[in-house]
Structure formats: structure tokens, C-alpha cells
Structure 1
Amino acid sequence: MIFGVGVDIVEIRRIKEAIEKHNTFIDRIFSKNEIEYLKNRNLRPEFVAGRFAAKEAVVKSLGSGFRGFDFKDIEIDRTASGRPTVVLKGKAKLMANKYGNYKIHLSISHGVDNAIAYAIMEVDKIEDSDCKDI
């Protein structure tokens, strides 16, 4: 059952500026695995922006915002064929686990100016208290 949907769009220019102005930006937002992936792509801003948008989209699909966890608790990985995947860690994983088995579907894309990500979270169970907005 679909629990949440999240989408985020990021201006690549703004991510490029953040990388250039704040030498800690990459380390604050991304895990070691993500940084390795991004460095293999020469920290190209469109790839960084896509991964950043993906984390934001995942948070929106969780329905929580960044309450009680941070960017590094959401890791964007990929399969051998290149399909993006989500690995939740720490408090983000604990939050998702309360719904039983879960799966997060993710799509990332970018153009010249923007990067976009779309996330759908599926869960086994939804408690009535989780549906108070419905």
C-alpha cells in the first residue's frame, strides 16, 4: 500500500554555489559511499543536485521532514544496472520500520538547469493514526 509520495526539484546552479562556497557541504549531506560515487563523477553539480533532490523526495515520502534524523540517514545508492535505490539508516530506518516491511521507489533526472527526484514509499501496514489527514 502506498504510504507517501515525495518530489523535489533543485536548481543545479544553487548546488554548484554551495559546493564552491562551503567546503563542508558534501561531507554534511552525503555518506562515504555517496561521496565516492560523486567523486567518480568529478562532483559534477548535476549529479550532486540529483542526489540531494532524492534525499528530499524520500523525506517527503516518509511524511516526517528531517525530524530526528539527518541527510546521512538516507543513502542514495544504485543497482548494477544504474537504477537508484534508497538505503535508510539510523533514525530514518527506525521510523520506516514501524510500518513493517517497506520499499521506496525512486527516480532521479536532471536537465541543464534543474535536477528532480520522485519517491514513492510502500508499506505493509498503516495505522489509523497515520491516516488522520485522509
Structure 2
Amino acid sequence: MILGIGIDLVELERLKTLLTDKFIDRLLSDLEKELYDNITNEQTKLEFFGGRFAAKEAIFKAISKGHGKTNYKDFSILKDENGKPYVHTDYFKQGEVIHISITHTKHYASSYCVIEKV
């Protein structure tokens, strides 16, 4: 049974103006921050950050909880051995599965999230 669906689209140029150390630390988990810090290309860094921001916003929409009830750092968006994104979190109950997809171009990042009870 599907418990929630969320989608988000981020304009990277707009996000670039907000990209401060404080905002990065507020949004990225320690695991994500380590990956982010190892990226040397600035455009790739922006796309990585934009993808994580869009993914977490999509998650918030899927769980129908606004900011304040959950935290960006409650969720780490990581990749499996095939490069497929997945969500690492302790937020969900046993039997709840979260599916996430992220895409980005030079100008936009987007994410789609489905939460399912199995």
C-alpha cells in the first residue's frame, strides 16, 4: 500500500545563491557531507547538493510533515553499488519502504519519492 508520494524541483542557479557553509551543514548528514567534500568540480557539487535538497523536500511531502517535525539530517541520500539512490534513516517504521529517484541537469535538480508499506 502506498503511504505517500512527493516530488520536488530545484532551480540550481537559485540554490547557488543560498549555498553557504551553514546551509550545507543544516541539510547534509555527516555521510553526505563527506561525499560532498570529496567532489572537486563546482558544478558537480551544486548538482549533488541540489539533488539531495530536492530528495529531502520530496520526502517531507511524501510523509506529509512540514519542517520542524522532521529534520533534513534525519535522512541520508546515498547510492548503492550500482549508483541507485537510497534513503538511510531511522525515521520509518518496520515494514515501511522508501523509494527515491533523483535527476539533474545543468540548471535543475528533481526528485520523486514513494513511501510504501509492505
Q: Which residue of 1 is the match for residue 101 of structure 2?
A: 107
Q: Which amino acid aligns with 1:14?
A: R
Q: How does 1:16-95 map to 2 (within 5 A)?
A: 16-19=16-19, 22-42=20-40, 44-89=45-90, 93=91
Q: RCO greater where, 1 or 2, for CA within 8 Å and sep 6 or more?
A: 2
RMSD in angstroms over aligned alpha carbons? 1.4
Distance in 1, matches of 2:67 and 2:23, equals: 17
- State the shift of 1:60 in Å: 1.0
Unaligned runs of 5+ in 1: 125-134
Q: Which amino acid aligns with 2:114?
A: I
- Residues 10-46 of structure 1, C-alpha deviations (whole Å, 9 max, x = no match): 0111221112xx3211111111100111122236111
1:71-126 Cα offsets, whole Å, 9 max, x none, are: 1011111101111001223xxx1xx32xx4111111000112110000000014xx
Residue matched to 2:13: 13
1-structure distance, mates of 2:52, 2:46 = 10
Bigger-Rg structure (1/2): 1
Which residue in the other structure is 1:128 paired with? none
Normalised to the residue count of structure 2, the TM-score between the two structures is: 0.89
